[in-house]
Every structure is written in structure tokens, then in C-alpha cells.
């Protein structure tokens, strides 16, 4: 993974926030625009309304399919760990030792 890819991954949450703000602003502006159009305040309200609906729908689709930083980390990290030959070649004794230590810690936690 390159540093540029890492940078892009860290920017995903900011991009989600931006798209959420676009959706919120677009919904408010669409409601206001349609209200002004139906009141006869201006004649181009319908055109603005259509444009705003298009922007809101586009931003909404972006929000739906844009993964968060945590999602991308899982997408990249989990397969790398699972497919790692060193992890797959762990001896069974190590797994047994880990289970014993976890059980020991759980018993200590119950006694407190």
C-alpha cells in the first residue's frame, strides 16, 4: 500500500461528512425552493428544485457507497492477515496457550 493510498483512506471520513452536509443543505434548499415556486415568488423555482434534487440524490448515493476509514482498514487488513502464511503456520500449542491465558484473564475478571 502506497502512502497516497493511506492518505486517501484517512480522508474518507471527511468526505462522508462533506457529502452529509451537501445532502442536508440540499434537502433544505429543495424544500425552500419548491415553497417559493408554489408561492409564486420566482418562476425558476422548479428548475432550481430539479437541480437540487439531482445534487441531493448524487450525494446520497455517494454516502451510501463510500466506506468509512474503519471499513477500508478492515477491507485491506483482514485478508492480508488471513492469507498470511506465517499466521496460517502457527503451531497448535500457541493457540492452546492463548486460550489458556484468555481463560485465566476471564477468571480474574469474574473474581473482582
Give the pLDDT confidence of 63-96 residue by residue, as tens digits. 777 777 777 887 788 778 778 887 777 778 888 8
- The single residue listed with the C-alpha cell 500500500 is 1
- The single residue listed with the C-alpha cell 468526505 is 15
Give the closest residue to 55 by CA, choosing from 37, 32, 29: 29
pTM (whole model) above 0.85: no
Residue 18 has pLDDT above 80, yes or no: yes
User: pLDDT tens digit string along 26-36?
Assistant: 888 777 777 77
Cβ atoms of 72 and 91 within 8 Å: the answer is: no
Q: How many residues does the chain have?
A: 112
Q: Quick one: three-class SS letters along 41-59?
A: CCCCHHHHHHHHHHHHHHH
Distances (CA, A) of 57 to 24, 32, 64, 103: 11, 17, 11, 51
Amino acid at each position: 500500500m502506497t502512502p497516497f493510498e493511506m492518505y486517501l483512506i484517512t480522508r474518507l471520513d471527511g468526505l462522508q461528512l462533506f457529502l452529509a452536509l451537501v445532502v442536508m443543505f440540499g434537502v433544505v434548499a429543495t424544500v425552500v425552493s419548491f415553497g417559493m415556486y408554489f408561492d409564486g415568488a420566482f418562476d425558476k423555482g422548479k428548475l432550481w428544485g430539479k437541480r437540487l434534487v439531482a445534487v441531493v440524490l448524487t450525494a446520497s448515493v455517494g454516502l451510501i457507497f463510500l466506506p468509512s476509514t474503519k471499513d477500508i482498514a478492515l477491507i485491506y487488513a483482514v485478508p492480508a492477515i488471513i492469507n498470511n502464511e506465517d499466521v496460517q503456520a502457527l503451531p497448535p500449542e500457541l493457540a492452546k496457550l492463548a486460550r489458556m491465558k484468555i481463560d485465566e484473564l476471564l477468571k480474574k475478571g469474574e473474581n473482582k
